[in-house]
Amino acid sequence: MSQRRPLAELEQSTDFVRRHIGPDTADRARMLAVLGVESLDALVEQVVPAAIRRREPMALPAGVSEAQALAELRGFAAHNSVMKSLIGLGYYGTHTPSVVLRNVLENPAWYTAYTPYQPEISQGRLEALLNFQTMVAELSGMDIANASMLDEATAAAEAMTLCQRGSRSKSTVFFVDADCLPQTIAVVRTRAAALGIELVIGDPFEHLPTLECFGTLLQYPGASGAVRDFSAVTAAVQARKGLVVVAADLLALCLLTPPGEWGADVVVGSAQRFGVPMGFGGPHAGYLATRDAHKRVMPGRLVGVSVDSNGEPAYRLALQTREQHIRREKATSNICTAQALLAIMASLYACWHGPQGLRTIAARVHRLTAICAAGLRQLGYAVAAEPFFDTIRIDTSVYTQAIHEHAREAGYNLRAIDAGHIGLSLDETVTREDLLALWGAFAPAGAVLPDIDALDASIEDVLPPAQLRSSSFLTHPVFSRYHSETEMMRYLRKLADKDLALDRAMIPLGSCTMKLNAATEMAAITWPEFASLHPFVPAEQASGYHALIDGLEAMLCQATGYAAVSLQPNAGSQGEYAGLLVIRRYHESRGEGRRNICLIPSSAHGTNPASAHLAGLDVVVVACDKQGNIDLDDLRQKAAQHAEKLAAIMITYPSTHGVFEENVQEVCAIVHEHGGQVYIDGANMNALVGLAAPGQFGGDVSHLNLHKTFCIPHGGGGPGVGPVAVAAHLAEFLPGRGPRAIGPVSAAPYGSASILPISWTYIRLMGAEGLREATASAILAANYIAARLAAHYPVLYTGPNGRVAHECILDLRPLKDATGISVDDVAKRLIDFGFHAPTMSFPVPGTLMVEPTESESLAELDRFVEAMIAIREEIRGVETGALDAEDNPLKHAPHTAAVVLADDWNHRYPREQAAYPVAALRQWKYWSPVGRVDNVYGDRHLMCACVPVSDYA
Ligand SMILES: *Cc1c(COP(=O)(O)O)cnc(C)c1O
């Protein structure tokens, strides 16, 4: 008998699909048996309406092994050239501290966490984000800063609308300094046009003394490098009730008087050069800081200090009543996913260097720039005369092209200002050797290069003396304690240990798709060929990136059934905004610019109405019926009523209720009949990939969340990528696609480019069949949980066959009525079992929405089911009177070690039940570092910076 096993069979053992999908074949059979369904395909037939099911598989190649995918990524990397880019314009070389790279950016304890909505299991990242806020507020000289914005350009656009809300001026004009970063001006222009804001762009010293405007945006230092004194024009704008926004460079603010000290109302910018690689444009943390007076109208996430149930200080997200999930179209912004991980990295860069270290870095950058300019003058070039920090403008007349070429040969990219001028921005990575090489590129043949030490001995700094910073910053001990690597490593470990991320337990957040972020998918993002590229390098230096981007766009077209994709938006919310602008542009192109009504079902995610508002559309709410489906009668009536002005409908599919609505094609048809376009929110693509495609069943536009379905980690609240995908008739309107395109919606052409390899790698590893299997497995897992828990908690919505899609809503309202136990109590009690709560009260108040994803093993699903059943038994205890209605383990959850171990224990339930409600917890337990956090107290006593140093005395 032959011992031979064919190669093809042996090769399957390298198959990534079984690494990505938690349950193996035997487990899936067990799960199907619980459902009484014979195969995965049979389940899919029960769940996905036949009318919308794909007839053809996605045209994607078969999946490859992890080794093969890494080899292909190396191939892309080899086609990117890593040069030193001194282009500036908001992107600078920086050294990521190795201790931060290894322990944060490459550590799943940090990058797989979710947005810190559940503060008790998020104290570590909340502390790091609070450090970010403190750092930004102090460097900018403002009272309060958020954590964080998507990039500098969108932060400036958000600041413009903040001015609209906060200013008492009646003007509709917003003034923009012509020396702002060009991409900032472009993004602000897009936003202003959608909102009917009139922009005036020019020289602030010429316009501002007399111009009526509700706000103004200044750049400090300017894009040209000039450091100008804006105090007089600031006072002039404010005298006429306008507000002043300043886009400022954080490193420069270590040396320059911060805008807060000369009167600015809002300061925005990017924290990129604080240790976050350029990454061909992103992701980086944008920031926004303002005065206390404007805190309730500021956009973005804000971390505050509150107290927990034991009276101890605890962090939480503050003032959420400003945000889209509560205020919807009246929200201060549509931001949901922000840039948490990058903000954390930037804050740690500040902790690592401390105020003294930052000042030294800034001073060295300035000194090198001053020497560089003096050397260029010695070589006969005219350098612009204004004071500068790190950026100079050189008159290169007829030699411009030759200098660019020489510089490139030596490995440098310079800024091409125009045919006669070159710009240079220096950064902390620039060395003496670089200066010599740069001078070499400028020097006429045979010229003697300047002597660095001689120049250093003879020239002065060129910062304007009147604008030198005298105030101290980062005085809090957190910025001085962790300067040794041992201390920093342990600080990072301590913070990470406080948090619950995917490296410890399933995070069953409905709508958020917390699935595996595989190590191989993450590998390439820190390779220099992806991490070190400036977004504005010549195209030939980024051909690896372009090939990967083209490939990913094509993959996403296959997954969605659309014709074209733009990867520019930095988050789902930005994809929505871009998609709606595309729809508006389409109507305008047909002479139907009047169409400005957007229908949105009542169950929609908060970003939908908030984005519609930002895109200049009026929101009309469509009702849902008792099954949670769009009420067709109401839709018909509203579509007809608004037919003249109907721009679009925004629906989510499968619905936010976790159901494949049977009538989705009819919904699309009704809107199309009345001249509207159909926007399908693709946040739930994890239920669709390979089974059904929005572009095939009626959608015109969708955004995807690559940080949900396509494996980019959530990073504790960002980064994200929210590509916008469109049907063929809309392709020409996508950002960057030609003369009829909408304006840019992000600072960089490809948004958060450096994390795109993650999604590319996922799709490449899975292949068409693997992706389809993942989707079916996600549906299986949700139905398994629904079936196991149905006897304990009613499942709120199901399709015609009694099935859910990839998530299920557990209705806790009857239990609340009977026992007073709320969703909050259940969510907090889950922490004692070592779980992150499911999504709370979205889309239905008083419910929990569970999305297990395909990546969780059957063992983990069962652990969750066991916890939920044990909690149900505790609620039954309250029902029967076995547990006290107030003094029970649910109301007092989560239990900290300090509470359980205290000498006093005077609760009416045993300590053991508090800490070890199921036996397995004795082997391994997550202890919440704080008790339940008081939300009301936190907003009443708003504290959004590190506790003052005096409290440490
Ligand atoms: C997550 C989500 C969004 C918003 O995406 P962000 O990337 O957080 O901006 C929009 N719609 C739905 C249904 C979502 O679940």
Rounded to an integer, the average pLDDT of 4-12 is 83
Do residues 945 and 474 lie in contact, with contact meaning Cβ atoms separated by under 8 Å? no
Q: Which of 611, 614, 681 to mutate to test the pocket of ligand 1 (most atoms within 8 A of CB)?
A: 681
Q: Which of 151, 333, 337 to mutate to test the pocket of ligand 1 (most atoms within 8 A of CB)?
A: 337
Residues 829 and 749 in one domain: no
Do residues 819 and 668 lie in contact, with contact meaning Cβ atoms separated by under 8 Å? no
> What pLDDT, in 10s, does the model give residues 629-645?
999 999 999 999 999 99
Q: Binning pLDDT at 50, 70 and 90, where does residue 947 land?
A: confident
Residues 800 and 919 in one domain: yes
Question: How many Å lie between the centroid of ligand 1 and the Cα of residue 720?
Answer: 10
**Does 722 contact ligand 1 (Cβ within 6 A)?**
yes
Q: Which of 117, 573, 709, 840 to mutate to test the pocket of ligand 1 (most atoms within 8 A of CB)?
A: 573
Q: What is the mean pLDDT of the chain?
A: 97
Closest CA to ligand 1's atom 14: 683
> What pLDDT, in 10s, does the model give residues 193-211?
999 999 999 999 999 999 9
> What pLDDT, in 10s, does the model give residues 760-807?
999 999 999 999 999 999 999 999 999 999 999 999 999 999 999 999
Return the pLDDT at 870: 98
Q: Binning pLDDT at 50, 70 and 90, where does residue 326 land?
A: confident
**Does 683 contact ligand 1 (Cβ within 6 A)?**
yes
Return the pLDDT at 173: 98
Q: Which atom of ligand 1 is nearest to the CA of 574?
A: 9
Question: How many Å lie between the centroid of ligand 1 and the Cα of residue 579?
Answer: 14
**Does 324 contact ligand 1 (Cβ within 6 A)?**
no
Q: Which atom of ligand 1 is nearest to the CA of 115?
A: 8
Grouping H, G, I as helix, E, B as strand and the rest as coil, residue 649 is strand
Q: Binning pLDDT at 50, 70 and 90, where does residue 919 land?
A: very high
Return the pLDDT at 949: 67
Residues 136 and 206 in one domain: yes
**What are φ and ψ of residue 840, in 5° steps?**
-100, 130
Q: Which of 151, 301, 317, 511 to mutate to test the pocket of ligand 1 (most atoms within 8 A of CB)?
A: 511
Q: Binning pLDDT at 50, 70 and 90, where does residue 946 land?
A: confident
Give the span between the Cα atoms of 662 and 681, in whole angstroms: 17
Residues 785 and 932 in one domain: yes
Continuous H helices in 703-853: 756-789, 813-819, 823-832
In a domain, 762, yes or no: no
What is the Rg, in whole angstroms, of the alpha carbon atoms belonging to the chain?
28
**What are φ and ψ of residue 406, in 5° steps?**
-60, -45
Do residues 711 and 555 lie in contact, with contact meaning Cβ atoms separated by under 8 Å? no
Q: Which of 339, 370, 391 is the last residue of a domain?
A: 339
Closest CA to ligand 1's atom 2: 683
Burial of 919 (0-12, 13-18, 19+ CB in 10 A): exposed
Residues 747 and 788 in one domain: no
Continuous H helices in 411-484: 432-442, 452-458
For 25, other C-beta atoms within 10 Å of its C-beta total 9
Return the pLDDT at 950: 67
Q: Which of 275, 306, 339 is the last residue of a domain?
A: 339
Question: How many Å lie between the centroid of ligand 1 and the Cα of residue 106?
Answer: 25
Rounded to an integer, the average pLDDT of 477-487 is 97
Give the side-chain half-sphere CA count within 13 A for 185: 17
Rounded to an integer, the average pLDDT of 609-638 is 95
Question: How many Å lie between the centroid of ligand 1 and the Cα of residue 727?
Answer: 21
Instruction: Name, in order, each residue with C-beta under 8 angstroms of 608's C-beta and a sequence gap of 6 or more.
Output: 576, 600, 650, 652, 681
Q: Which of 735, 755, 775 is the last residue of a domain?
A: 755
Question: How many Å lie between the centroid of ligand 1 and the Cα of residue 693?
Answer: 18
Residues 180 and 308 in one domain: yes
Residues 218 and 238 in one domain: yes
Rounded to an integer, the average pLDDT of 87-97 is 98
Domain extent at residue 238: 114-339
**Does 607 contact ligand 1 (Cβ within 6 A)?**
yes
> What pLDDT, in 10s, does the model give residues 238-267?
999 999 999 999 999 999 999 999 999 999
Residues 826 and 737 in one domain: no
In a domain, 403, yes or no: no
> What pLDDT, in 10s, does the model give residues 353-385?
999 999 999 999 999 999 999 999 999 999 998
Report helix, strand and coil shares of the chain as percent, to nearest 5.
Answer: 45, 15, 40
Q: Which atom of ligand 1 is nearest to the CA of 334?
A: 9
In a domain, 845, yes or no: yes
CATH number of the domain bearing residue 815: 3.90.1150.10
Residues 723 and 616 in one domain: yes
Give the span between the Cα atoms of 491 and 347, in whole angstroms: 13
CA quadruple 840, 843, 845, 847: dihedral sign: negative
Question: How many Å lie between the centroid of ligand 1 and the Cα of residue 603?
Answer: 13
Closest CA to ligand 1's atom 4: 572
Give the span between the Cα atoms of 187 and 182, in whole angstroms: 9
Q: How many domains does the chain have?
A: 3
Max CA distance (Å), the chain: 96
Question: How many Å lie between the centroid of ligand 1 and the Cα of residue 573?
Answer: 6
**Does 720 contact ligand 1 (Cβ within 6 A)?**
yes
The DSSP annotation for 931-953 comes to --B-HHHHHHT---SPPPGGGG-
Q: Residue 952 pLDDT > 60, yes or no?
A: no
Q: Which of 705, 807, 839 to mutate to test the pocket of ligand 1 (most atoms within 8 A of CB)?
A: 705
Q: Binning pLDDT at 50, 70 and 90, where does residue 948 land?
A: confident
CATH number of the domain bearing residue 644: 3.40.640.10
Rounded to an integer, the average pLDDT of 543-564 is 98
Rounded to an integer, the average pLDDT of 685-698 is 98
Give the span between the Cα atoms of 85 and 106, in whole angstroms: 25
Rounded to an integer, the average pLDDT of 536-542 is 98
Return the pLDDT at 1: 62
How far CA 138 is from CA of 128, 154, 350, 474, 526, in Å, comes to 15, 22, 12, 7, 30
Do residues 737 and 582 lie in contact, with contact meaning Cβ atoms separated by under 8 Å? no
Peptide bond into 654 cis (omega under 30): yes
Residues 845 and 736 in one domain: no
Give the span between the Cα atoms of 249 and 826, in whole angstroms: 45
Tokens of 74: 């190396």
Residues 748 and 835 in one domain: no
Q: Which atom of ligand 1 is nearest to the CA of 708?
A: 1
